[in-house]
Amino acid sequence: MNKIFDVVKKYNIKNDFFLPYGFDKGKINFEAVNSLNHIEDGKLVLVTAINPTKAGEGKTTVSIGLADGLNAIGAKTMLALREPSMGPVFGIKGGATGGGLSSIEPELDINLHFTGDFHAITSAHNLLSALIDAHIFYGNELGFDKVLWTRTLDVNDRSLRKVQTDLREDSFVITAASEIMAVLALANDLDDLKLRLNKILIGLTIDNKPIFVSDLGVSGALMLILKDAFNPNVVLTKEGNPALVHLGPFANIAHGCNSIIATKLALKMADYVVTEAGFGADLGMEKFLDLKLPELKKDVSLVVLVTTLHSLKSHGGAENYFEPNLEALINGIPHLEKHIENIQNYNLDFVIAINKHTNDVNDEINYLLNWAKEKNFKIEVSDGFNSGSRGTKDLAELVVKTINNHKIREINRPYDLNDTPKDKIYKIATKIYGASDVKFTKKALEQLEIYNNLIKDLPVCIAKTPSSFSDDSKLLGRPKNFVITIKEIKPSLGSNFFVAITKGINIMPGLNKHSRAYDF
C-alpha cells in the first residue's frame, strides 16, 4: 500500500483522495478530477488491434509495456484500462492484466472480484429488476405491458438466456453487458450519473408508451449502491508504474471502453495516457471514437495498432500459426490493411506495433517491417512480454516522436447524427466492416419503428462478433461481398446510444466444453 501511495503522490493526487483497498490496490476519489482542473491534459494514445484470433493479439500487454517504456524514457505516463469480467476468466478468454513482464498486479484479484465494482453493478441492476416486478405485483400503476429490463450475473451461463419467473418470462445478460455498466462508464460526475440512470428505458405500455427509471423513482437507491464503484481503481505495473483500471463494458456487445472519469483523471495526472479499446479496430476503436470520445471531449493524439505474426498467419489461412509460414503471413496482410484504412478514414495518425512472441522468426518479422516501410507506415517491434520496458523503449520513442511531429486533425466520422438509425447502421457496416449490404429482420424493423423517436438522434453501438469484419466468426482475413444481418434493436438511453444486435450474438455467453475453470 505504501508503494502505491508513494507513486500516486508523484502523480498529483493528495492524501485525502487516495482510498486504500488492502496493501496492493486502492481507489482514487473521482472528485480529484476537479482538484486538478488547473493542469493541462496530457496526450491521449489509443491502443487497438486487428480482429482477435485464438493466437491472441496482446493488446493489453502492449498497452502496459508501452506505458512502462514511456516512463522509462522519461515521459510521465498513466495507463487507463478496463476491468476484466469474471465470467470469461472461467470460460475461454482468460484475464485482462497483460502478460509476462508487461502486467499489472495483483493479477488474480483484478481478474476476479477486484474492489467489488462488478458486484455493485450486478446488485444495482438486479435491485431494479426486483423493483419492477414488485411494482407490477402490487398493481402495475405505470401500466407495464412489456418489461425491457432483464437480470444480470457476472458468470457465463447459457441456461439463463431465458428464464420464467412467477410474473413473466425473463432473461439474464452478463454484467459487462448491463446498461448500468455502460452508464457508469460514461458518466462525468454524480449528477450526470443520476440523470443517465433516470433515462434508462425499462418498459413499454400496451400502446408502446416508454417507461423510464425516473417514472419508477428509484435512481436514489441505485446511486447508493454505485457510489463507491464510481471511484477509479489504481494499481501498479510490475515495473511500479500506475494504472487506473476502471469498469469494463464488453466491446462486442457494449462500447468496450474504461470509464470517462478514470480517463479524465489520468489525463490530469500525466503527460501521456495510454488507453485501449476492446477487440479490433472495427469494434473497439470505432466505439471509442464514436461513442466515448464525444462524451470525453478530448482528441486522440495517436493510434497504436497491435498485430502479431501468429494472428496475421491465422487470418491468412494457417492452421498451425506457431510454425514459420511466410505465405500465410502475406495472405493475412490484407486484413491488417483494412484496419489501417479505417484508422486513416477517421483522419488519425497511427503506428503499428508488432507484439513479439518467443518463437517468432526473424525472416517473418523483417518481411512485415519492410512491407510497412515500403508503404510509409510507421512500425516497431514490442517485446514487453519477455523484456518489460527494455523491449518497448523503441516503440515508446516512436510514439513520442510521431506525436511531436503530428498536428491533431479533426476526426472524420462514418455517419452524421442526423442520419436515420438504419443509415447509421448501414454506413458503419459498409465503411468500417466492408459489408456489401445490411439486412434487417422483421423484429428489428418493428423495433426501429417503435423506438424511432427515442433513438433517431443517437449514435449506434453495433453488437457483432469480434473475430471477423463480418457477422460470421468463421470469415477471417478480409472478406468481400458479405451481408450484415441485424436481428434486434435495443435503446440504451442512459448511455446515449442505441444497440443494433447482429445475428449470432448472445449477451449472456455460455461456457465451452473444456472451460478454463478446470485448469485451476
Residue type, 241: N
Name the nearest CA neighbour of 492 among 255, 165, 146. 255
- Residue 91 has what DSSP assignment? S
- 126-132 contacts: CB < 8 A, separation 24 or more? 126/151, 126/152, 127/218, 127/221, 127/222, 127/225, 128/180, 128/200, 128/202, 128/213, 128/216, 128/218, 128/222, 129/170, 131/216, 131/218, 131/221, 132/202, 132/203, 132/216
The answer to whether the annotation marks 57 as part of a ligand binding site is yes
The answer to whether the annotation marks 59 as part of a ligand binding site is yes
The answer to whether the annotation marks 56 as part of a ligand binding site is yes
The answer to whether the annotation marks 152 as part of a ligand binding site is no
CA 190 to chain centre: 22
- 168-172 contacts: CB < 8 A, separation 24 or more? 168/133, 168/136, 170/129, 171/508, 172/508
User: 118 with 85: CB under 8 angstroms?
Assistant: yes
| Measured distance CA(511)–CA(95) in Å, rounded | 15
The answer to whether the annotation marks 55 as part of a ligand binding site is yes
The answer to whether the annotation marks 54 as part of a ligand binding site is yes
CA 199 to chain centre: 22
| Measured distance CA(368)–CA(366) in Å, rounded | 5
| Measured distance CA(156)–CA(132) in Å, rounded | 24
Assign residue 468 a region: left if phi > 0, alpha if psi is -120 to 50, beta otherwise? beta
302-307/350-355 β-pairing: parallel
The answer to whether the annotation marks 441 as part of a ligand binding site is no
The answer to whether the annotation marks 287 as part of a ligand binding site is no
User: 266 with 242: CB under 8 angstroms?
Assistant: no
- Residue 158 has what DSSP assignment? G
- Residue 15 has what DSSP assignment? G
What is the SS3 string spanning 209-274?
CEEEHHHHCCHHHHHHHHCCCCCCEEEEECCCCEEEECCCCCCCCCCCCCCHHHHHHHHHHCCEEE
Name the nearest CA neighbour of 68 among 303, 368, 392, 355. 392
> Binding site residues for ATP, as ranges?
53-60
> Binding site residues, as ranges?
53-60
